[in-house]
Structure 1
């Protein structure tokens, strides 16, 4: 009996990870109905762990359900994105502060953050936006992980996923990625030098600038077709 329980839990976790990946990476686009049979065939799993995974994904904000209609990938509105950015600003700040207060944090920065930063810089020069986005989330996830707060890590992982599948549009503001890379360098330096207050402040500013860039990218177009920024861009 324990072996069966463990197997069922493992299949559910496998289904959760794979379906979440499909949502985050755009294989399942916003508005798509998620069909158990299709997923069961694609993932080669029985319907039972698929259904359990879908319930978990709904609970974590990656799916929505309608009575008698089933599960759907949600359409993420501008208001949703604002809420996600607000939460991330606070939680990213906490994670950076805790990371900077760790003993021997220089080893973490040199062994983990610096290689990720260097890879981001390389991808930026190669104009590989998708690759940059992948490494960007790994950079932030590394800070969440080292903060050693299990609940914070869970919340941030879900928020990061929702932010990514909801919109990558903050990066569409001209110059935003290069500006963000400079912000990463400042955060990394504050953590390496053991300056918790600065690390928190810089991390919060980084997320706030991304939110401002998102606002610019989602602003309505003027009659000539140009976007009218809702607020001052993070680039200026």
Structure 2
């Protein structure tokens, strides 16, 4: 039996993965300074891959650089959230319309499995696993479109908004709402109802925006 070779991550990829996990898990909160030397020492690496990973996250908008001070986790902003979700609406609607005629049984199975994985992660209060399963669910709808550049742009927008998503999933009532909405989306996908899917996804994003605006408003006050 031949076992598929799995390339180990580079030091930069390992740091990037850990930084993303720490931000999603709320260990690195918005506004927190990321001390490069301390983070490198924690992972047993040099400072170089940490700096490279931070530059990638800066490009995504997840961290910001302040001259003479260093890198900080980006603070959450309602206007930024609205802009990201508006661009997502435009791109994701087009991707779904292109995907629906091409959806196969394997795609539907991935959607269903992602829902079950989210429910399991929610029960464990594992926000990192929950967020990963949520991403698998949505991209199982986008990727069959075959529009690789468009899907890559959508993925970049998701990277930028992961801290918001993590905040949203922190509340059990929101996790329950997402589960209900995802199951309705799956039903529409099974019917190959492209316009119904677009409508349900619009509502899905709108509900998240409304709740996040409340959360961010409460934190600001």
**Which structure 2 residues correspond to residues 86-235 of structure 1 after superposition, within 5 A?**
86-102=86-102, 105-109=104-108, 111-121=109-119, 126=123, 128=125, 130=127, 132-166=130-164, 168-170=166-168, 175-219=173-217
Q: What corresponds to 1:52 in structure 2?
A: 52
Q: How far does residue 220 in structure 1 lie from its aligned partner after superposition?
A: 5.4
When structure 1 is superposed on structure 2, of 58-67 and 199-208 the one drifting more is 199-208
- Residues 63-87 of structure 1 deviation map (CA, whole Å, 9 limit, x = unaligned): 1011121111111122222222222
**Which structure 2 residues correspond to residues 41-80 of structure 1 after superposition, within 5 A?**
41-80=41-80
- What is the SS of the residue equivalent to 1:26? coil
CA distance in 1, matches of 2:83, 2:134: 20
Total equivalences in the alignment? 212
- Residues 180-220 of structure 1 deviation map (CA, whole Å, 9 limit, x = unaligned): 32321222222233232322222122112221222344455
When structure 1 is superposed on structure 2, of 209-218 and 29-38 the one drifting more is 209-218
Q: Is this contact kept in 1: 2:142–2:151, CA < 8 A?
A: yes
When structure 1 is superposed on structure 2, of 167-176 and 139-148 the one drifting more is 167-176
Q: How far does residue 57 in structure 1 lie from its aligned partner after superposition?
A: 1.2
Q: Whose radius of gyration is greater, 1 or 2?
A: 1
**Root-mean-square deviation (Å):** 3.2
More helix by share: 2
CA distance in 1, matches of 2:119, 2:52: 40
The alignment's TM-score, normalised by the length of structure 1, stands at: 0.73
Query: Unaligned 5+ residue runs, structure 2?
Result: 1-6
CA distance in 1, matches of 2:170, 2:28: 22
Change (3 A) 1:18 1:156: farther
CA distance in 1, matches of 2:152, 2:15: 18
- Residues 152-171 of structure 1 deviation map (CA, whole Å, 9 limit, x = unaligned): 33333333343331354545
CA distance in 2, matches of 1:173, 1:53: 29
Q: What corresponds to 1:23 in structure 2?
A: 23
- What is the SS of the residue equivalent to 1:152? helix
- What is the SS of the residue equivalent to 2:76? coil
CA distance in 2, matches of 1:172, 1:23: 13
Q: Is this contact kept in 1: 2:25–2:166, CA < 8 A?
A: no
